A and B are shown apart, each in its own frame.
Chain A
Amino acid sequence: MANKTSLLGEITKGLWKENPILVLLLGCCPTLAVSTLAYNGLGMGLATMVVLVGSNFLISLIRPIVPKSVRIPIYIVVIATFVTIVDLLLKAYLVELSRNLGIFVPLIVVNCIILGRAEAFAARNTVGRSVLDGIGMSLGFMAALLVLGSIREILGAGTLTLWVMGETVVKFNLLGENYPGILVMILPPGAFIALGVLLAIRAKIQKRLDTARS
């Protein structure tokens, strides 16, 4: 396995060049479903980060002893373990987030990003690189979810909620009390429209970068 990328490159590629949502289009189900609030996007990103880093770490560690023919079930068991831990932690300490995300926390098990990274990266690379890859990928996932959630929340409700933990609420009323809210942005169609626009903007910037380089 030729490792051409630098260690820093393993982290930064997830943010832009191989962003899981904006380039690989993986994990669309949680992306579209929970990005109704900026806070939900952030929380989903954090939860995914814990699972992805943990599963990448463990899977790259047990790589030599996993028989090829049953690797997928083994990966799923590893991922499900981390998801259960995250789910219980959220229920214990971040009740609001757990309630907002609902079924989509257990569903992280089937998130394509995690199994995808396990199969495509952790199963073929060293422990260090796999952890860095997990951090980078989940940072990219979180960033995209945060942007998508912010756009949808600002347009849909006129507010920006960044943190809710018991009494501590970080919430900004950006567009005033009388803003009627573009309801459709909170609904599923709004997620598709916002994601489509984000994809287009990213592709446009990438094109500019490519022409500038050549």
Chain B
Amino acid sequence: MDKKLFVSSSPHVHGQVSTPAIMWTVVLSLLPATLWSFYLFGLPAVTVVLGTVALTAALEAISNKVAGGPLALRDGSAVLTGLLLALTLPPGLPLWMCGAGAFVSVVVAKAFFGGLGQNLFNPAMTGRVFLLIAFPAAMTKWLVPRGTGESLLGHPVTAYDTAGKLVELTSAKVDAITAATPLGLLCEKGAGAVAAIQNSPDLFIGQLNGSLGETSAAFLLLGGLFLLVRRIITWHIPVAYIGTVAVIAAITHAVDPAQYASVAFHVFTGGLMIGAFFMATDYVTSPMYPMGKLIFGVGCGVLTMVIRLWGGYPEGVSFAVLLLNACVPIIDNATRPKKFGLTKLAAA
């Protein structure tokens, strides 16, 4: 029988945007920052990134098989989770620790909750926080970028020593140098220790020690803008998040410059860029509506700054995003927009 009339429920117009397309676009947008980290940190960075991505994908395939569902590996979400996780790790982290993080990300934070779309917490952030709590020593051993005396873009390579002083690295004899991150210095020694660098362009370009993906604010910003232009993400969360951080940094810096670092320092260091553009905007674990997104972003910003300025940890992005992830159902409930044509009486 030939059916002339098809009756189906809405939506009738399909956007032709599939989950894999979105995931691979985000992976693409992270490539500049990833390649930059390869260039800065060399082989340790390559090992961490490739190892973490491979392990995450393998664990995703295994957990799909165990759960008995369809193989969700091809949608690219596991590769994206692996890449995001790798970018929050310090270069040179032992591979088995990367594997432990990958396990927590994909199996504990995602598969246990029912797979992609069901997870309450951002998988990559959960993996990172697990590693941070599980291996505090290994997770805070930061390699100094390109510390072998080679020059970069025509500039001599510099790094900041424990006193926060700019030193030129000329020794070609060392394998690797480690030092505290700028935020680590701020946390331990106060704004005085980072006074020399808090308005330096290095913060933006990313010639700093830190996690693989947190070094270059510029490349992450590039990736984030690409996502905005492709309309993969909306502006609400990144703008609210970074804006809140900037406002709090401006106020505290104005009150006491000796104790609190500048706006540029707080905005361009640490995991803020990758957190605001790539972690907090995760579809599954962020609010659905514009108003909710703004609340979510502001909440992340406030928590991040509270942890950075007054908390025990130097960096608070991962904790802030996870804590706000837990609030998403409440935020969504509170900010549900009124349906068109619905009166107040009917809604209640």
Closest to B130 in A: A184
B134 and A183 within 8 A (CB): yes
A180 and B138 form a contact (CB under 8 A): yes
Which stretch from A12-20, A48-56, A98-106, A185-193 is at the chain B interface? A185-193
Interchain CB contact (< 8 A) of B133 among A180, A183, A200: A183
User: Please, which residues of chain B bring their CB within 8 A of the CB of A196?
Assistant: 112
Chain A interface, >50% SS class? helix
Cβ B137 vs Cβ A180 within 8 A: yes
Q: Can you list 12 contacts pairing A with B, beta carbon distance less than 8 Å?
A: A180-B137, A182-B134, A182-B135, A183-B134, A184-B130, A184-B133, A185-B134, A187-B133, A189-B133, A193-B108, A196-B112, A200-B112
B136 within 8 A of partner (CB): yes
- Kindly provide the distance from the CB of A214 to the nearest chain B CB, expressed in whole angstroms: 20
Cα of A196 to Cα of B104 in the assembled complex, Å: 13
B91-144 at interface with A (beta carbon < 8 Å): 100, 108, 112, 130, 133-138
CA A184 to CA B108, docked complex, whole Å: 14
Q: Give the CA-CA distance A77 to B134 in the complex, in Å.
A: 42
Q: Which residue of A lies closest to B132 (CB)?
A: A184
Docked Cα-Cα span, A101 to B100, in Å, equals 30
List chain A residues, Cβ under 8 A from B134: 182-185
Q: Which residues 183-213 of A sit at the B interface, judged by CB distance below 8 A? A: 183-185, 187, 189, 193, 196, 200
In Å, the complex CA distance between A47 and B135 comes to 33
- Residues from chain A with Cβ under 8 Å of B138 in the complex: 180
CB-defined contacts of B130 to chain A, threshold 8 Å:
184
How many residues on B have C-beta within 8 angstroms of the other chain's C-beta atoms?
10
Contact A183 B108 (CB under 8 A): no
List B residues at the A interface (Cβ < 8 Å): 100, 108, 112, 130, 133-138
Residue of A nearest to B94 (CB): A180
What are the 9 A-B residue pairs with the smallest beta carbon separation, nearest first?
A184-B134, A184-B133, A182-B134, A183-B134, A180-B135, A184-B130, A183-B136, A183-B133, A180-B138
- Determine the chain A residues whose CB is within 8 A of the CB of B135 once the complex forms: 180, 182-183
Q: B136 — which chain A residues lie within 8 A by C-beta?
A: 183
* B135 closest partner in A (C-beta): A180
A183 to B112, CA, bound (A): 22
The closest CB in chain B to the CB of A189 belongs to B133
* Chain B interface main SS type: helix
Say how far A205's CB is from chain B's closest CB, in angstroms: 15
Closest to A183 in B: B134
A152 to chain B, nearest CB (A): 12
Q: Which residues of A contact B100 (CB under 8 A)?
A: 182
Please name all residues of chain A whose beta carbon is closer than 8 Å to the beta carbon of B133 when the two chains form the complex: 183-184, 187, 189
Q: What's the nearest-Cβ distance from chain A to residue B240, in Å?
A: 29
Q: Which of A153-181 contact B (CB under 8 A)?
A: 180
What's the minimum C-beta distance from B123 to chain A, rounded to whole angstroms? 15
A155 to chain B: closest residue by CB: B134
Q: Which residue of A lies closest to B137 (CB)?
A: A180
A187→B129 CA distance, assembly (Å):
13
Nearest B residue to A182 via CB reads B134
* A207 CB to nearest B CB, Å: 13
Write the nearest CB–CB distance from B24 to chain A, whole angstroms.
Answer: 31
Q: Which residue of A lies closest to B138 (CB)?
A: A180
Q: How far is the CA of A108 from the CA of B130 in the complex (A)?
A: 31
A151 CB → nearest B CB, Å: 14
- Expressed in whole angstroms, the Cα–Cα distance for A180 and B137 within the complex equals 9
Beyond A182-B100, A182-B134, 4 extra complex contacts between A and B, CB < 8 Å: A180-B138, A183-B134, A183-B136, A189-B133
A18 to chain B, nearest CB (A): 25
Cβ of A87 to closest chain B Cβ, rounded Å? 33
Minimum distance in angstroms from B19 CB to a CB of chain A = 27
- Chain B nearest CB: distance from A34 CB in Å? 20
CA distance A99 to B134 in the complex (A): 25
Identify the closest chain A residue to B97 (Cβ): A180
What B residues does A187 contact at CB under 8 A? 133
A36 → chain B, closest Cβ, in Å? 14
The CA of A185 and the CA of B134, in the complex, are separated in Å by 7
> What is the bound-complex CA distance between A185 and B103, given in angstroms?
14
Closest CB-CB distance, A211 to chain B, in whole Å?
A: 14
Residues of chain B within 8 A (CB-CB) of A200 are: 112
Q: Provide the residues of chain A in CB contact with B108, threshold 8 Å.
A: 193
Please, which residue of chain A has its CB at the minimum distance from the CB of B133? A184
Q: How far is the CB of A149 from chain B (nearest CB, A)?
A: 18
Q: Which residues of A contact B112 (CB under 8 A)?
A: 196, 200
